[in-house]
Each structure stands twice: as structure tokens, then as C-alpha cells.
A and B are shown apart, each in its own frame.
Chain A
Amino acid sequence: MLSIVLKKTWNAFHLDVDFAIPKGKITTLFGPSGAGKSSILRFISGLERADDGMICYDNATWFDNERNIHLSPQQRSIGFVFQDYALFPHMTIEQNVSYGIDEKKNKKNEVEKLLSLVGLSGYENYYPSQLSGGQKQRVALIRALAKKPDLLLMDEPLSAVDWETRRQLQEDLKRIIRSFGVTTLYVTHDVAEVYKLADKVVVLQSGKIVKQGTPEDVFLGKRLSTRIQLAGKVVAIEYDSIMAIVTVLHAEQYFKTLIDTDEVQRLNLKIGDDVVIGAKSSDVVLFKALSMV
């Protein structure tokens, strides 16, 4: 388990958090931009130092202000994936991936294995500029995982790719992270992403943790009696005279929901908003797929 207690003040902004990340699980750090999510990652990685607090991974202390312990990034066993990948532009894919691998022998083998894991075999001698956004993202991920870190930090890694690619990459990320079994802290501001990836979500708002738990618990879950709850994104809103049809995309499926026009205004619902659809299980009709023909 990684336990994190951090305090930092920048002018009028105070960051004050205390939370834990379960081992081998994906935890998302969720919140609006400017909430302090990226700063927390930088403190955990050792790239920056907080004013006060403590960061411990199991029995190892990475940071303890009182005892003046502050390990440098290379002394902490971490992998860090940045928002825009940050692949070294002057190095080939092979050189990028092997940058963190210490041992000299087997390096080539290791890189080949990693590349095949993300479906990029044969790209060893390409330069980052020759890859698509999705491919770069996958290279950045295996580069961070190549030295088998204890902790993987990801700072909105999918915010720079288009929407379609993002869905696909979320699946890939989940699969790869699971296969490494690495403890992961993933920063995002996308609810659907939290639902898709996270075992645990920590909600951050202006430097404070406001909620934490499983995505279901945190976002709605145990508060609503409906058995059907789908997190998705609003993709269209059409107005009728008194009702509005709100189309929600969930897991590549479109769901049309009928909502009072006043309700749309009260919620200030816009295209792109993250929403949860709740429906009573008694309100659905069910057919066997073939009998529909």
C-alpha cells in the first residue's frame, strides 16, 4: 500500500491531502483542472517536494519532511506517463523503451517482448514522430513499465488522443496494467474513464479530498435504488415542446433518454457532460436476440 500525506501552499492555494492507494489496483485521482492532481503526482514521483507530509510505500519511506527524507525520483521505484507522452524525440522506439532498463544483456529481447505486448512489433527503429497518438501512448506506457516499477503514475494519459482512440486505449491500458499487476495512480477528469478503469477513485477539489471509494459508491451507487446505472457522455440533446431527448454514449452504445426540458436547464446539461443513466429494472422489455428478426 502506498500511503500519502501531503501539504503544500502556493500563494492562496492550499493542498492538503491524506489518502492511500491499494497495492496492485488502479486508483484514479479525479477532479477538475486546477484541483492539484498533477502536483500530487509530482510530489509522489519526487520531481518536486511538498512543504510537509509523508509518502510511504509499504515499509519504505520515500518522503518524510520531519525526518528530512526526500528520495530522488531515481531512488523511488516509479514509472511516470505524461499527458503528451514525452517520448524522447531523438531516440528510436527501441532506445526509448530500453532507456529505463539497467541490465545490458537481454535488453533487446526485453524490448521486443514489451513491444509485442502492445502490438508494436517491428517498430523498433521508428522515431516517435512517425507514430500515431495512440501508438505513442502505448510506447510511453511500456517505457514506464519496462523497469518493472512498484508504482505507475499516469497524468491524464489519454487527454491528447481523439475520442474513438481513447475508448480503445482504455481497454489496452487496463489489460496491460493488469498483466503487470502494478499499483497505479491515474489522474483524469473523465467520469466514464473512472468507471472503465478504476478500482478506487479519490475525488479532489481545490486541493482537498472530498470523497473516495469505488466509482459506483462515489458517483451514485448506493444512493439510488435503480438496478440499471450506466455512466456515459451526453452526445446530443434534442428538444421537443416539453420533453428533451438526451442521447448518452455508454460503452460504444447510444442510449436515448427522455427528460423534462426544465430538468435539462436546471442541470445545465451540455453535450460532453458526464452523466449516469438510472433506470428501474422493471421498466425494460427483453427479447431474445434472434426472435427480433
Chain B
Amino acid sequence: MACKLKGKIVKILSGKVHAQIQMVWKNTPLSVIVTTASCEEMGLREGDSLYVLIKGTDVMLAKSFSGKLSARNRVEGVVKHIVHGDVLSKVSVESQGDLLYAIITNMSLKEMDIKEGDIVTAIVKSTELILMKGEDE
């Protein structure tokens, strides 16, 4: 998985089909939607520590972000490194000592004029995140 953030569950809002897992990773709140079945099978409890997996292709970047947006997860960080591909580019963003990746189009990269050292906000919808328990891999 593209990147892994270790967080702690603060609250679980259980619905009929879905459960919203509210977490904190360092100082940043994160929200993850999983099915209630997964939540039960994994035996998730408030206070548990576990990994949040974020795929680079699911991450969008914003610069000087303002206004309202429905996506729950917003992480502010500094652009560390950019790898240019033919259509897509991979932008590494450092935030609170962890690295996140965003795969965005070269067009957006150019339009937004993203350079190393820029401050950006990485945004992901709750439904895109995956939870993983303990151990690596």
C-alpha cells in the first residue's frame, strides 16, 4: 500500500451496513468508513491502535485551501519530492514526520505550480481508506 499511518480509534459510529471509524493520527483527526461486518470481524474497539492505508491514487492535493469540501480527511504538509511520469506524477508530502504520496496528473501539477517546499493539503474521502491491524505487510 502506498502509505501507512498508525492511528488510534477514538470513536466508532456503527450503522446498519457501514461504520464510521473516527481516529487520530498524531494530532490530525482521520475518518474511515468500513462495513459493519469488517468492523465486527476485526473486533475493532475504541482505543485500538491500527494502521490506516492510503493509496496514492486516491489522494488529491490542494494549495491555499479554503471553502467547504465534503471529504473528511485533510492533512497539511510540505512537498518533499516530486517524481515526474509521462502523464502522472508522484508527489511526496511530509506531515508530522510521516510521508504521504499523491499521484496526480501532470496537468494539475503544472496548473497549481506545485514545487518542492510548497505547503499543500492532502485530501482523501473516508470511503477510500483501508484499515489494517498489527504486524507489517
Contacts and interface: CB of A to CB of B under 8 A. Distances in A.
- Do A and B share a complex? yes
B93 interface: no
Interface in B33-51: 33-35, 37-39, 41-43
Those 5 A-B pairs whose CB atoms lie nearest each other, nearest first: A241-B85, A225-B131, A223-B133, A225-B34, A242-B85
Nearest to B40: A222
A177 interface: no
B136 to A, nearest CB: 11
A251 interface: no
A268 B93 CA distance: 24
B4 to A, nearest CB: 11
Nearest to B39: A225
Nearest to A223: B133
A-side interface size class? 20 to 34
25 contacts: A222-B133, A223-B132, A223-B133, A223-B134, A223-B135, A224-B42, A224-B130, A224-B132, A225-B34, A225-B35, A225-B38, A225-B39, A225-B42, A227-B38, A241-B85, A241-B88, A242-B85, A242-B88, A242-B89, A242-B90, A258-B57, A280-B130, A281-B35, A282-B33, A282-B127
Interface in B45-89: 56-57, 83-89
A223 B43 CA distance: 9
B16 to A, nearest CB: 15
A243 interface: yes
A240 B90 CA distance: 12
A222 B131 CA distance: 10
Given A242-B85, A242-B103, A243-B103, A226 B90 contact: no
Interface string A221-233: 1111111000000
Contacts of B35: 225, 227, 281
A259 to B, nearest CB: 8
A181 interface: no
Interface size for chain B: under 10, 10 to 19, 20 to 34, or 35 or more residues? 20 to 34
Contacts of A243: 57, 85, 88, 103
Contacts of B86: 240-241
A223 to B, nearest CB: 4
A43 to B, nearest CB: 31
Q: Determine chain A's interface SS by DSSP, over half rule.
A: mixed
Interface of B is mostly: mixed
Interface of A: 221-227, 240-243, 258, 260, 263, 267, 278, 280-283
B116 interface: no
Contacts of B90: 242, 260
Given A223-B133, A223-B134, A243-B85, 11 more contacts: A223-B132, A224-B131, A225-B34, A225-B38, A225-B132, A227-B37, A241-B87, A241-B88, A242-B83, A258-B57, A260-B103
A241 B86 CA distance: 7
B35 to A, nearest CB: 6
Contacts of B84: 241
Contact of A278 (B89, B128, B130): B130
Contacts of A280: 127-128, 130
A267 B132 CA distance: 17
Contacts of A224: 42, 130-133
Contacts of B41: 221-222
B43 A222 contact: yes
Contacts of A225: 32, 34-35, 38-39, 42, 130-132
Contacts of B32: 225
Given A241-B86, A258-B57, A281-B35, A226 B130 contact: yes
Contacts of A222: 41-43, 133
Contacts of B131: 224-225
Contacts of B130: 224-226, 278, 280
Count chain B CB atoms within 10 A of each CB in A221, A224, A241 and give the residue with the most: A224
